[in-house]
Each structure stands twice: as C-alpha cells, then as structure tokens.
Structure 1
C-alpha cells in the first residue's frame, strides 16, 4: 500500500503521487507520515520536506517555506507558502 501525497503552493499543484513515506518539517518538530497515519493538521517551519518513493530508497528533498500539512484518510497534503526551485 502507498501514501497518497500532494504538494501544493498558491500558484499550483506541484506534485501528486503515491509514495512510501514523507518527513515534514513541522513547527513543533519534524514528523514522518506513512500510509494509514492518524489524521491531524500541523503548521510548517522552513526546512526540508523529504520524500521516499519506496522503502529503503533514496530520498528526494524539497525545501519548503511555511504553510500547513494535513493528514487524513485520503493521504498527506502539504500546503506550502513557497518551495525552492
């Protein structure tokens, strides 16, 4: 099973894919989300969003600046104010 992950900025949907795990820079500390995680919302701090496409795979890192993250039954949505390109 996979985690449905979406990364959204005010300008557009940056990414939508099924992944193994995402580590998010929360304002109260980093947290990782796998498929089936309990629902919650968190604010983001500036930092690296780390995406693992598969277990044991090499991560992809995207720098995010501010925003929110929501985990629900549909997956993880990160609403970032800005991402480094």
Structure 2
C-alpha cells in the first residue's frame, strides 16, 4: 500500500498556506508514489511536523526552523522511493 504523508500545522500561527504549498509540491513530485497528503490542524501551538504513515519525519521545533522544499523532497524520496530521481533537486 502506498504511504500517506501528514502535515500537522498550527492554525493559530497561520501556517495553513505553508502546509498547503508543501502538500502541492509533494503531490506534484510523488503523485504515483503516495496514497495522498493530509493537512491536519494541530491542537498544539507552534506545531509544524511531517509524518509518513504516522511516523514523524520532520519537526520544526526539533530542527530549529522550517525545512526547505528541496530537503523535504529528498527526505520523503529516501523513505518512499529511494531510487527516484528528483532532477534538479538532487543537484547540489
């Protein structure tokens, strides 16, 4: 079964647009590799975390800030489809 990505975001911090942008980028890049992307409002203030099938992959507080989209795609690719080329996102 294909994995589901969950983006948990703080609605009080107005991070819905950031979460939606990341969801769009993830779905565009991994449309054949994923079951879907779920946007989940958090009950915890300041929360922004990304999960793959319920397992936390990224947490804003632990990382000390937001992840950029290139690094996020690489992180997801490494879990979901390690052989997938990300084109320009793979180049340094």
TM-score normalized by structure 1?
A: 0.29
Max Rg structure: 2
**Quick check: which one's helix share is greater?**
2
- TM-score by length of structure 2 reads 0.28
